[in-house]
Amino acid sequence: MSKLLQGSVTGHMTRLALPGVAGAFAMMVFNLTDTYFVSRLGTEELAAMGFTFAVIMIVGALAIGFSAGAASIISRALGAKNVPLARRTVADGLVLTILGTLFVSGLGYFTITPLFSMLGAEDHVLKLVRSYMQIWYIGAVFAILPPVSDGCLRAAGDMVRPVIVMISCAILNVILDPILIFGWGPVPALGMKGAALATVISRGLGASASLLILHFKHQLIDWSRPRIKQALDSWKNIIQLGIPAALTQALTPLAQGYYIRLAAGVGGVKAVAAMATGTRIETIVFIISMAYSMAIVPFVGQNFGANAHDRVQAARRISTRFALLYSCITFALLALGARWIAGWFSNDPTVLKLSITYLLIAALGHAGLHTTTWLSQILNVIGKPGPVMFVSLTRVFVFIMPLCFLGSHFFGFTGLVSGLALSNLLSGAQAYYATRKQLRQAV
């Protein structure tokens, strides 16, 4: 753990980020596997899977929040050599996740029909959604726990073992999906239920592995029963720090839904298809960005906890420069290969043209998006959730919604995407000044 408090800042950030690339790729494979195999069942099954994504993402925001809150406290505690606080926070974070997930999944289980009916699922599709979500809600604790347990491991500076767990989960899900969905030997074909069951089993085993590593390798779980007031105070601190991360996670599909709806208004179905194509390609482009964001937690948290503020400032400067460099590289690659990559998803000339337009213009704002993501992560890790929440809300409601609307109104699809790119750049500037101010005040 003390290794992060000395030596090259750039070297540490690189070493911490590299394993995360494989982990982010594994999670992308995990998420695509269900969709791929369910699509082989039919159009209605694929539509049912589409209805579940938004709800699962919102419930998943709960885990993201708990993970971010706990990781912030754990990393700073370890930097300050306060191991008892770190161990107590791991235990309290896990219990909070379990209790919170049980409450939300119990509520969700008994509201499946009215909720998804409101979202537009009807007749047979609604039955398929119900068959999937009933299994998912029952096993929601196992589906939600891995991000929290893995986040605790990363806060301790262990970046490799969570990746091994994620890759193992993805491989297991690839194996279980066809067996449980289509049946094999004595195993009956379970269809949508099989897809949900495969997810729950693979993620449950992954969570178990992470917990074993936390306990036996790092000895970071305090199994003693805390006083009620102590537990409530710990949960309060975790939730306060986790709210901005959860809010950001929940606002992402909201923002995407908004500008996709604008795209439908200016370009119809083909514009929506182009948006879908562009955002899928961006998930691949952003793999390194996700990995770097994970690396920020242990490095910044432990150095801030050890009062090594100069090293935290160095991490901020490196992150800002890397955001610009990374976006320039990806823009150059997209400029050369956008047509070829977009062709993987559609051969319709209009969709292809609009997809290229989206990729090239949106990429102009990637520097701002990466800056927002990484510097917000720094703010959250040092225990400053207020500015993070302000940046997240401003990005969506002050920048994205008005600028995308105005852009689409005056310049159609090109204006819409330009509004999105400009919004990300403005958000990046806001995050830059907010982070610089907070770090100066912390010294």
Q: pLDDT of the chain along its 443 residues, tens only?
A: 568 888 999 999 999 998 888 888 888 787 778 777 887 888 788 778 777 877 787 788 888 888 888 999 999 999 999 999 999 999 999 999 999 889 989 999 999 999 888 867 788 888 988 999 999 999 988 888 888 888 888 888 888 888 898 899 989 999 999 999 999 888 898 988 999 999 999 999 998 999 999 899 889 888 888 888 888 998 999 998 888 888 887 788 778 778 878 888 888 878 877 877 788 788 888 889 989 999 999 999 999 999 999 999 999 999 999 999 999 999 999 999 888 888 877 777 888 888 899 999 999 999 999 999 999 999 999 989 889 999 999 999 999 999 999 999 999 999 999 999 999 999 999 999 999 999 988 76
- In a domain? residue 72: yes
Q: Are residues 212 and 142 in the same domain?
A: yes
The total number of structural domains that make up the chain: 2
- Calpha distance 119→121 (Å, rounded): 6
- In a domain? residue 272: yes
Instruction: Give the domain-ending residue among 226, 251, 280.
Output: 226
- In a domain? residue 239: no
Q: Are residues 204 and 287 in the same domain?
A: no
Q: Are residues 83 and 193 in the same domain?
A: yes
- Contacts of residue 401, defined as CB under 8 A and 6 or more positions apart, other chains included, come to 255, 258
**Quick count: other Cβ atoms within 10 Å of Cβ 318?**
16
User: Residue type at 212?
Assistant: L
Give the number of residues written for the chain. 443
Q: Are residues 149 and 70 in the same domain?
A: yes
Q: Are residues 414 and 292 in the same domain?
A: yes
- In a domain? residue 156: yes
Q: Are residues 329 and 427 in the same domain?
A: yes
Q: Are residues 208 and 273 in the same domain?
A: no
**Residue 184, φ and ψ in degrees, nearest 5:** -160, 120
Report pLDDT for 2.
64
Q: Are residues 196 and 90 in the same domain?
A: yes
Indicate yes or no: pTM above 0.75: yes
Q: Are residues 159 and 307 in the same domain?
A: no
Report pLDDT for 443.
62
Q: Are residues 173 and 96 in the same domain?
A: yes
Q: Are residues 198 and 267 in the same domain?
A: no
- Calpha distance 115→133 (Å, rounded): 11
- In a domain? residue 241: no
| Structural domain range at position 299 | 263-442
Question: Could you tell me if 155 and 213 are in contact, meaning their C-beta atoms sit under 8 angstroms apart?
Answer: no
Q: Quote the tokens at residue 123.
A: 């007749």
In angstroms, the Cα distances linking 338 to 44, 146, 346, 364 are 31, 34, 12, 14
- In a domain? residue 238: no
User: Residue type at 370?
Assistant: H
Question: Could you tell me if 319 and 296 are in contact, meaning their C-beta atoms sit under 8 angstroms apart?
Answer: yes
Instruction: Give the domain-ending residue among 177, 197, 226.
Output: 226
- Calpha distance 242→72 (Å, rounded): 9
Q: Are residues 190 and 268 in the same domain?
A: no
- In a domain? residue 249: no
Instruction: Give the domain-ending residue among 179, 208, 226.
Output: 226
- In a domain? residue 254: no
- Calpha distance 50→99 (Å, rounded): 27
